[in-house]
Structure 1
């Protein structure tokens, strides 16, 4: 059964990682998928990997004029996924560069907000929006206070927006540690050590894969009785295990 067959899904940030995996799930479900990103070559490569009814458009989610222009010409949209990754704003709080924290908000919080605002006229009245945040909002790991602020701010908006914008459904998926290109700036050996360490304290015994998060995104879009939810997809990493 194809729950979203014939429907139109826009994935902002769909050129790699979680966004690309989500696009693949929607395309496999028979949806028409539009992926966006800042690099047309990467978008075209991702569209080729995803297959199905997929088109790719270069749109910088941090550029409000570009986002407005995209949705003004996009036609009707049934479901929107905002998977724009940030990265700045981490580090020990006592030494945290507040300009970097502001850049972190500029790279993730504000793009998510302005994409949703710009998309409203194009979105189906009872369609859905799924934001991709991060479990740093609640994980209480040293050095992540800035990241917690950015992602926590997005997650705090989900319940009131679900009420204010109803019957449009607003949800978020909050991933834990996921093996995506976001980590490529970390040397391979160090990255493996980090992943092994997280896997050892996670009930499922591994870090996440993009497909794990994509399944959660697809579920929230397809289930029209779910709204106002921040769904953790962390492999149980945020559970109080007593370890």
Structure 2
């Protein structure tokens, strides 16, 4: 049996790195791409079996160079994110919102286009959106638009690119480096309060979401689907 090859773009931390580790544990040859040399150096030490590439998901030339170096890709996972986008709509900085689209939505589009010639016909593409794409939380209109645009790619691409499978995963609150901009005490206070509202009564870990990502990427009968892994946040008001 030919060993599967996976590429996780945005795979140097958080959900992306947790996904890379799970895919590697399944026996795949796993490549990760990220912009930060320090994180790639850390992975080379902690996870020497994972192959790192320094590349920006929004840079067509850099991603093309990565996929050409890899060759055939069975499982493409795009776990791009950014810290910009939230905030009251009336005060949203449009320059900031454009940067948020560049970082996440256009990064997804660029990566998919660059990788397509190298995807195996039986392969898959898995995108990372977020609950904000479908929830009505005040202060999230900007980031909701970004994630909604990402998730809107799933169904038409699943039909257009078949038999390549295309899916999305939509996390809710996840304890990842995305929250590092908050002081630790403020973050923990918010997580404690939010966990009391969630039906699951807990904040997800990156590993929780990675489990769903791996299912979407590897299950041959799932396509055109967005897996919600939000602890039930869509069922309650988080405002």
Same fold (TM over 0.5): yes
Show structure 1 runs of 5+ residues with no match. Answer: none
Cα distance change on mapping 1:215 and 1:5 into 2, 3 Å: farther
Of 10, 16, 32, the residue aligned with 1:19 is 16
Contact 1:27 1:50 in 2 (8 A): no
1:35: which partner in 2?
32
Deviation, structure 1 residue 26:
0.5
TM-score (norm 2): 0.95
Q: Establish whether residue 223 from structure 1 lines up as the match of residue 219 from structure 2.
A: yes
How far apart are the structure 2 equivalents of 1:66 and 1:174? 27
1:58-94 CA distances to partner (integer Å, 9 max, x unpaired)?
Answer: 0111212111222222210010000011221210001
| 4+ aligned runs moved over 4 Å, structure 1 | none
Alignment length, in residue pairs? 239
- The within-5 A match list for 1:28-177 is 28-50=25-47, 53-177=49-173
Deviation at 1:150, TM superposition (A): 0.3
Cα distance in 2 for partners of 1:161, 1:138 equals 19
Shift of 1:156: 1.0
Distance 1:70 1:76, change over 3 A: same
CA shift at 1:118, angstroms?
A: 0.6
Which digits, 9 at most, give the CA deviation of each residue in 1:24-43, with x for residues without a partner? Answer: 10011111100110122311
How many Å apart are 1:120 and its aligned residue? 0.2
Q: Residues 118-166 of structure 1, C-alpha deviation per residue, up to 9 Å, x if partnerless?
A: 1000100120010111111112111100000000011111001000000
Counterparts of 1:20 and 1:60, CA distance in 2: 16
* Further displaced range: 4-13 or 217-226: 4-13
| Unpaired stretches in structure 2, ≥5 consecutive residues | none
Q: 1:204 aligns with which of 196, 200, 205?
A: 200
**Contact between 1:5 and 1:31, CA under 8 Å: does it hold in 2?**
no
Backbone CA RMSD of aligned residues: 1.8
Compute the displacement of 1:44 (Å). 2.8
TM-score normalised to structure 1 length: 0.94
